[in-house]
Structure formats: C-alpha cells, structure tokens
Amino acid sequence: MTNDSTHAATAEVTAIDTQARVPLTLLLAAGLIWLVISGVLGVITSIQLHTPGFLADCSFLTAGRAQAMRETSFLYGWIANTGLAVVLWVLGRLGGSPLRALNWTVAGTIFWNLGLAVGLVGIGLGDMTSFASFQLPRYVGVLMLFAYAAIALPGVLAWSGRRSHGLFASHWYGVAALFLFPWLFSAAQLVLLWSPMRGTLQAVAGGWYTQSLWSLWLAPLALTGAYYIVPKVAGRLMPSYDFAPLGFWTLIFIGGWTGGRHLVGGPVPAWIPTMAVVACTMMLFHYILVGLNLRIASQAGGTAIKFIRFGLVAYVLTGTLDALTSFRVIAVETQFTFMATALEQLGVYAGISMMLFGALYYMLPRLTGRPWASAALTTGHRVLVSFGVVLLVATLAVAGWTQGSDLLDSKLALGEIFNRLRVPLMVGTAAQIALVAANLLLVVNFFRSACVCCATSTPSETPFRQPSALEAHAS
C-alpha cells in the first residue's frame, strides 16, 4: 500500500462535505421522516389485509387509499429524498470540488416535501390517480417537477464541472437518475392525467411508468451509492469493471421495455407481455454484471458494507425472480397474488432501501465530521431491519404462493382462500411493526448524531483515517 502524499486533498473529510452539511442533512432528515410515516401506514394496511374492518369507517384510510399513501410516501418520500442526497453527495465527491447552488437544493427540498404532503392529503381525500406508483394527484405534479429540478441542480453542476475527464460508474448511474426522472414523470403525467389515453392504453402507459421508475430511477439512485462506497471501503478495483458499461446500458435501454410485466393475460395485445418477458430476461445481463462488479463487498466490513451487501443480494435476487415470474407458465400462478407484493418489497425495501441505509451510514459521519452517536443503535437498527425485511418478504412470498395455487383451484371459494392467508398476513404485520421499530432506532440515532454537530463546533480531532491511493493493478 502506498501512502499518497502528493495529493493535498486526500483528507477524507473536506470542504465538499462541510459545505453540503446542512442541505444534505435536511434531505436525509426528510427522507427518514417519510420512512417512519410510510412504515406506520404499512402497519395499518397490513392489518387491514387480515382484518378488513380495521379503520374501515374512516374514509381517509380505506384499504386502497392507505395502500396508495404507504407506497407514495415510501417511493417519493423516503427513497427520493435519501437517494437524491446520496447522489448529490457522491457526484460532489467525484467532481472534486464543493457542490454549487446548494440553496436551490434547500428550496427544492422544502417544496418537494410540501408537494408530497399535499399529495398525500389529496390521496386521503380521494384524489389518487389509481395508477400503481403514480398515485400523486394531478395538481402537485408541476410543483414536484420544479422542486425536483431545484434539488438536482447542484448534482448536474458537479457533474458538468468535474475535474477528472473520465466518468466513473457512479457518475453514470447518478446522472441517469437525475436526468431521467423528470422525463419519465412528465411523460406519464401527460398521457395519464392531462390528456389521458383511451381504455387499456392507460394500463400500458402506467406499466411503462412503474417499470421505468424502477429501472431508470430507483435502481440508479441506489447503485450510485453502492458503486462508490463498495470499492472505496474495500480498497480494491471492481472485478470485471470493463463490463460495467454493458450492465449500465442494459438497465437503461431495456428497463422501459419491461412495461407490460404485470399485464400477462390481460386486455392488451399479446405482444406487450411477451415483450416484457423478453426484456426481463435481457435485464439479467444487468443484474449479473452488477453482482460481478460489486462482489468485492463480501471482502470488506463495517456497517455501510453490511447494509449494501444485503441490498445487493436482494437486488440481484429481485432481478432473477422478476425474470422467472414474468414467464407465462409461472405468472399464471403468481399473477394477482401477494407474490407480486413480495417481489416489490424485495426490490424496494430489501434491495434499494438497504443500499440507501448503507450509503446513509457511510455519508452522515462525513457530513457532520463525527461518528454516529450510538453504536448500539446502529447495530440494533441493522439487525432489526434485516430481520423485519426478511420476515416481511418471506411471509408475503408464502402468502402469495398459497394464494396463487388456491386461486387456480376453482372449487376453493374466495372466502376459504382468504382464511388460509390470515396467518401469514398476521406474521406480515409483525414484520411491519419490527420495521417501524427498527427505523425509529435509526431516527433517534440520526437526530442525535446530526444535532451533536449543530450544538458543538467542529471536532478537534478527525475520527477519519487517511485513505491511500488505489493501486491501479491491485486485483
């Protein structure tokens, strides 16, 4: 290992981090608050699944509305805020100079979350659009778009003004996430809300949006952090890195074509689900290459890596199961069941969110210049959230598989199927409660850590070790 003394800027925490402290901590805090809100809504919806009468008298929280609010606050609250913070920070670090125009991010954060809150109240009052993962009412769309642009601006500036000429993998994913979401969101707004397409075309366009959101936004947000942190902590070159571009472009080019994923057997021409099956199969390229590149995560330690490793395994598993269950032979069993929910949770919770947790744990000490406040809370959160998410996905998968085979048996009445689902669904509620508890630990830890930095001046001694230079031919 060579000690790189030629670079003056090798100190682990620099002006890049200190400048970004307040705006990015604000984004992270907003994300965590939405995470808890969506967790509470998750508990409510999961109780409603096995006890339909729960809160049914409250029109604000019918099963459909609570479910839409849970999903929306999770995607556009937790993942959006946290993911954007991670992307901005990584792009800043890679750009080599402090982020510019961070005031825009602060303003954008306020308006984005304001818009989201208004949107959620709107859903509760019955203004949901009824398209999966696109439930925000029409009237907040434009506000959200402008707020998004404001949040993303420093990231784009950091990218265009970067010092090095090459682009690192995190650049690709980060810039793709920043750049593609507005197109995606406004294109869907146009054909679903402003000038709605006819009949089942809405379902096709809705499917295109849902799948594109996954592959062009949620996954890149998380992978930006993973591709940066894993080699950084492991101190190694990523194996098979020369194929990383192939993995990236597969995700970006093929992702949208999986749009007919959930329309198998539905009232759309057969070629749409067929195309989705083909695209899901081709997407395996991406998942395999990401797995190959980031397999060095298994050779490093620490809180962040443990989270990211969990997330990566879940992410690759999501892709594989997605491809498998898209085939018609298997889809006839899994379609319209909790298996779809299980896969969705595997993707966005066990995959994306765990990677974002890892990035959050890596990032916050660098923003505040101090370690996390409590080791016990850190470990406690990791253990409890891993337990909760595994339990949740497993029970949903069991419920989904039972439900699928029961539905195929036409002699079994729906009420009977429902009775057989009750036990797994009750365990699912326990998992949701565990997740809320785990995330409350994180919130406490986060605010203690963040407030310590506000209360005292900069710490006298940096807790960070001096990083060394990566040897180009190390592997």
Region 144-183 residues binding other proteins, contact defined as CB under 8 A: 159-160, 164-169, 172, 175-176, 179-180, 183
Distance (Å, rounded) from C-alpha 101 to C-alpha 306?
33
Q: What angle do CA 110, 116, 120 make, to 5 degrees?
A: 145
Distance (Å, rounded) from C-alpha 449 to C-alpha 373?
5
Residues 407 to 466 in contact with other proteins, rule: CB under 8 A:
407-410, 414-415, 418, 463-465
DSSP, collapsed to helix, strand or coil, labels residue 350 as helix
Residues 327 to 386 in contact with other proteins, rule: CB under 8 A:
328, 332, 335-338, 340-341, 361-362, 365, 371-375, 378-379, 382
Nearer of residues 270 and 454 to other proteins, judged by Cβ = 270
Under rule CB under 8 A, residue 202 binds other proteins? yes
Distance (Å, rounded) from C-alpha 197 to C-alpha 201?
6
Nearer of residues 231 and 351 to other proteins, judged by Cβ = 231
**Terminal CA-CA length for the chain:** 13
Nearer of residues 34 and 159 to other proteins, judged by Cβ = 159
| CB of 466 vs other proteins, minimal distance in Å | 9
Stretch in the footprint of other proteins (CB under 8 A) among 25-33, 141-149, 297-305, 452-460: 297-305
- Among 19, 48, 73, 113, indicate the residue that binds other proteins (CB under 8 A): 48
Residues 2 to 31 in contact with other proteins, rule: CB under 8 A:
4, 7, 9-10, 12
Asked whether the beta carbons of 226 and 174 are under 8 A apart, the reply is no
DSSP at 239: T
- Among 303, 353, 429, 432, indicate the residue that binds other proteins (CB under 8 A): 303
Distance (Å, rounded) from C-alpha 282 to C-alpha 434?
36
- Among 157, 272, 314, 397, indicate the residue that binds other proteins (CB under 8 A): 272
- Among 84, 85, 300, 321, indicate the residue that binds other proteins (CB under 8 A): 300
Residues 89 to 148 in contact with other proteins, rule: CB under 8 A:
93-94, 96, 126-128, 130, 132
Nearer of residues 103 and 299 to other proteins, judged by Cβ = 299
Give whole-number Cα distances, 338 to 130, 299, 346, 407, in Å.
19, 35, 12, 12
Distance (Å, rounded) from C-alpha 9 to C-alpha 15?
10
| CB of 263 vs other proteins, minimal distance in Å | 8
Helices 21-50 + 80-95 axis angle, to 10: 150
Dihedrals phi, psi of 58, to nearest 5 degrees: -90, 110
DSSP per residue, 436-461: HHHHHHHHHHHHHHHHHHHHS-S-SS
Asked whether the beta carbons of 194 and 138 are under 8 A apart, the reply is yes
Residues 210 to 229 in contact with other proteins, rule: CB under 8 A:
212, 216, 228-229
DSSP, collapsed to helix, strand or coil, labels residue 235 as coil
Task: Name the nearest CA neighbour of 334 among 258, 400, 416.
Answer: 400
- Among 115, 174, 231, 319, indicate the residue that binds other proteins (CB under 8 A): 231
Stretch in the footprint of other proteins (CB under 8 A) among 146-154, 236-244, 346-354, 434-442: 236-244
- The site that binds other proteins (CB under 8 A) totals a number of residues, namely 149
Nearer of residues 110 and 197 to other proteins, judged by Cβ = 197
Nearer of residues 54 and 146 to other proteins, judged by Cβ = 54
